[in-house]
């Protein structure tokens, strides 16, 4: 049954439990800030959860505000559930802030788990973050006109496996389930499965470098054997471990044909090898398997979206390695009392930063936090993103990566354009175009990809001293330049980023690196305790909330204390001197 957190002052408050010195110390702690301003805000946020519970039937739930605060503190201090429950139960600051007796503030692990599952199923972590961020920005008059954007690599609670280790892990997981569901089939597997996978988990993956390639082929053959053997077994083939086995095989291996019944050398242990015919090795399999030859793909041919560890199927591999990428956006206006994380996004590692920029701007716009200037690095900056962000009223400031392979050639930046950024008024030699138009596209393109054609007099271009350096193409009747808004923006940005003013202006972007360092060092962002993208995203969002809360408390503690009746029209920057 849904119950809201009581906000009305009690007739017999918990303050009677504390002596005068304790009340002074509590008034200086985060508990006073939480009690005076944050809890009233969370009280309005509780209504977002009302539809998930019955209004009159069932046991009353634990207060939503208490659960939200508990999860913020859990990620702010990188606590385990046990450490969190102990702190909530015995830390006087929680009892003082919520003004609840011991029995009402006590939580259990099952309550935390159920609440996390509810938030994950309904994506409520995002709602909490957006509402809380808007509250902080409004309360402290945070200027969001200038913001900066960056991403960092994070790893979920999984081991980083080698290719052989991955093969062995999915085989061993499959055999564990097979033993429970069909012990007879498990016992009738060829003897090599006992030597490689049954005696000691992980043994077959623990190979010296010179034997790794050979064992990789053997493990690939074993995967194909299991897939072929149990493909028609409905109960087994529908298991998660069976799907993972088939996925790894399809991603890493291909199947060819063996022309004859050739002998195959199989490693039995580290010091002994033996030779069998194909029939002896694959006894009990189909005729298709007998004529099959498993080929392990070259690592260069592997896509980035392959399975990295069966314990976390969402993880992919990017240029920083397997894991996820957390993208943070932060205010960076110098006059702000403190900077606030305004947006969080979690993606798999194989997603390019180029694809995130516009999504971040759209999300900030929907939350009324859209910046006027967004500072990024080269990973988020491209001609397309510059144009698309400008179309939304955002000036994307960031350098373009890459090297100009033809520095001696003239660029679009050397041409003169009208204020609309599209109309060419003169070429680098000062000649005006004779005509220009937008190219008719066969398919609908984004604004940044729309092409424009500019025509110049053919004879004039032939006689031009800059002809060898000019990008104009000479046709039968005219000289033509074709460009898109993205190409022009890229050319202009490459020219601009060479200037000293641009470099000094974009030095502000480097400040966001402190978020990555702070959250990885003190909040455990680099190695999370959860698996799966939904859980990882929810955890990262609460860590960002915890970071904002720490900054807010640090700032408020620097302000002079006033009596509650002089609280500057409800501004959180003022704290009562006593309770």
Q: Is the Cβ–Cβ distance between 481 and 460 less than 8 Å?
A: no
Q: Which DSSP symbol is given to 181? A: H
**Which phi and psi (to 5°) does residue 263 adopt?**
-80, 145
Q: Torsion-angle region of residue 402: left (phi > 0), alpha (psi -120 to 50) or beta?
A: left
Strand pairing class (146-154; 341-348): unpaired
| Residue-level pLDDT at 310 | 95
| Residue-level pLDDT at 444 | 64
Q: Is the dihedral of CA 144, 145, 146, 152 positive or negative?
A: positive
What lies within 8 Å, CB to CB, of 153 at 6+ separation is 318, 320, 321, 323, 324, 325, 349
| Residue-level pLDDT at 273 | 39
Neighbours of 459 (CB within 10 A): 10
- Strand-pairing partners, residue 348, are 324
What's the Cα-to-Cα distance from 228 to each of 195, 254, 282, 361, 384, rounded to whole Å? 21, 14, 10, 49, 48
- State if pTM tops 0.85: yes
| Residue-level pLDDT at 263 | 41
Positions of the chain with pLDDT under 50: 259, 261-287, 289-291, 562-579
Return the closest-CA partner of residue 100 out of 125, 71, 65, 72.
65
Q: Is the dihedral of CA 107, 111, 112, 115 positive or negative?
A: negative
| Residue-level pLDDT at 569 | 43
Q: Is the Cβ–Cβ distance between 149 and 375 less than 8 Å?
A: yes
| Residue-level pLDDT at 348 | 94
Q: Is the Cβ–Cβ distance between 574 and 556 less than 8 Å?
A: no
Q: Is the Cβ–Cβ distance between 119 and 275 less than 8 Å?
A: no
| Residue-level pLDDT at 224 | 93
* Whole-angstrom distance, CA of residue 537 vs CA of residue 543: 10
Return the closest-CA partner of residue 223 out of 255, 199, 181.
255
Radius of gyration of the chain, Cα coordinates, nearest whole angstrom: 32
* Whole-angstrom distance, CA of residue 118 vs CA of residue 170: 30
What's the Cα-to-Cα distance from 374 to each of 42, 211, 349, rounded to whole Å? 30, 51, 23
| Residue-level pLDDT at 15 | 61
Q: Is the Cβ–Cβ distance between 74 and 545 less than 8 Å?
A: no
Give me the numbers of helices (H) and strands (E) for the chain, helices first please. 24, 16
- Strand-pairing partners, residue 323, are 316
Give the start-end residues of each E strand in 129-193: 146-154
* Whole-angstrom distance, CA of residue 114 vs CA of residue 53: 12
Return the closest-CA partner of residue 73 out of 36, 114, 117, 29.
29
Residue 341 CA neighbour count, 13 Å, CB half: 28
* Whole-angstrom distance, CA of residue 126 vs CA of residue 116: 13
- Rounded to 5°, the CA angle 53-59-65 comes to 60
Residue 532, both tokens: 């799966």
As to burial, measured by CB atoms within 10 angstroms (0-12 exposed, 13-18 middle, 19+ buried), residue 42 is buried
**DSSP string for residues in 368-389:** T---SEEE--TTT--HHHHHHH
**DSSP string for residues in 56-96:** SSSSPPPPHHHHHHHHHHHHHTT--HHHHHHHHHH-HHHHH
| Residue-level pLDDT at 287 | 46
**DSSP string for residues in 394-422:** -EEE-PPPS--S-TTS--GGGSEE-TTSS
Residue 320, both tokens: 């920083």
């Amino acid at each position: 049954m849904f119950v809201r957190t009581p906000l009305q002052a009690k007739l017999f408050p918990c303050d009677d439990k504390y002596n005068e010195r304790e009340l002074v110390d509590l008034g200086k702690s985060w508990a006073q800030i939480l009690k005076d301003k944050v809890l009233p805000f969370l009280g309005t946020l509780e209504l977002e959860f009302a539809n998930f519970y019955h209004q009159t039937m069932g046991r009353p739930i634990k207060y939503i505000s208490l659960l939200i605060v508990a999860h913020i503190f859990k990620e702010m201090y990188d606590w385990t559930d046990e450490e969190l429950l102990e702190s909530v139960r015995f830390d006087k600051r929680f009892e003082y802030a919520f003004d609840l007796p011991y029995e009402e503030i006590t939580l259990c692990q099952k309550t935390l788990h159920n609440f996390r599952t509810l938030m994950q199923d309904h994506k409520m972590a995002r709602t909490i973050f957006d509402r809380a961020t808007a509250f902080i920005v409004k309360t402290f008059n945070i200027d969001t006109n200038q913001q900066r954007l960056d991403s960092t690599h994070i790893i979920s609670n999984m081991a980083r496996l080698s290719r052989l280790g991955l093969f062995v892990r999915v085989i061993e997981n499959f055999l564990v389930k097979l033993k429970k569901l069909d012990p007879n089939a498990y016992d009738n597997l060829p003897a090599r499965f006992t030597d490689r996978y049954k005696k000691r988990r992980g043994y077959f993956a623990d190979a010296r470098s010179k034997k790794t390639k050979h064992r990789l082929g053997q493990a690939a053959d074993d995967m194909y054997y299991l897939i072929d053997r149990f493909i028609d077994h409905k109960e087994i083939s529908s298991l998660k471990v069976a799907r993972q086995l088939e996925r790894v095989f399809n991603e890493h291996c291909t199947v060819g044909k063996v022309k004859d019944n050739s002998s195959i050398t199989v490693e039995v242990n580290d010091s002994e090898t033996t030779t069998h015919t194909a029939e002896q090795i694959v006894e009990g399999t189909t005729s298709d398997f007998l004529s099959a030859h498993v080929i392990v793909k070259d690592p260069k041919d592997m896509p980035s979206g392959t399975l990295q560890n069966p314990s976390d199927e969402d993880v992919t591999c990017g240029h920083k390695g397997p894991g996820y990428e957390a993208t943070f956006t932060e205010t960076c206006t110098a006059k702000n009392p403190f900077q606030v994380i305004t947006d969080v996004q979690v993606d798999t590692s194989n997603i390019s930063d180029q694809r995130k920029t516009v999504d971040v701007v759209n999300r900030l716009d929907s939350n009324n936090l859209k910046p006027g200037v967004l500072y990024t690095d080269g990973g988020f900056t491209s001609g397309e993103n510059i144009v698309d962000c400008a179309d939304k009223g955002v000036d994307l400031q960031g350098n373009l990566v890459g090297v100009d392979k033809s520095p001696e050639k003239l660029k679009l930046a050397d041409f003169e354009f009208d204020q609309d950024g599209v109309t060419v008024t003169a070429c680098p030699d000062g000649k005006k175009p004779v005509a220009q138009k937008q190219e008719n596209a066969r398919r609908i393109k984004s604004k940044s990809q729309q092409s424009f054609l500019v025509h110049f007099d053919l004879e004039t271009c032939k006689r031009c001293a800059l002809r060898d350096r000019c990008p104009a193409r000479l046709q039968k009747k005219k000289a033509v330049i074709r460009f898109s808004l993205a190409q022009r923006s890229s050319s202009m940005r490459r020219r601009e980023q060479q200037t000293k003013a641009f470099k000094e202006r974009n030095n502000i972007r480097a400040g966001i690196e402190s978020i990555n360092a702070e959250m990885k060092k003190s909040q455990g962002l680099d190695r999370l305790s959860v698996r799966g993208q939904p859980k990882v995203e929810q955890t990262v969002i609460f860590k960002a909330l915890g970071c904002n809360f720490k900054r807010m408390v640090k700032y408020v503690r620097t302000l002079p204390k006033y009596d509650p009746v002089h609280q500057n029209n409800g501004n959180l920057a003022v704290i009562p001197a006593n309770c």
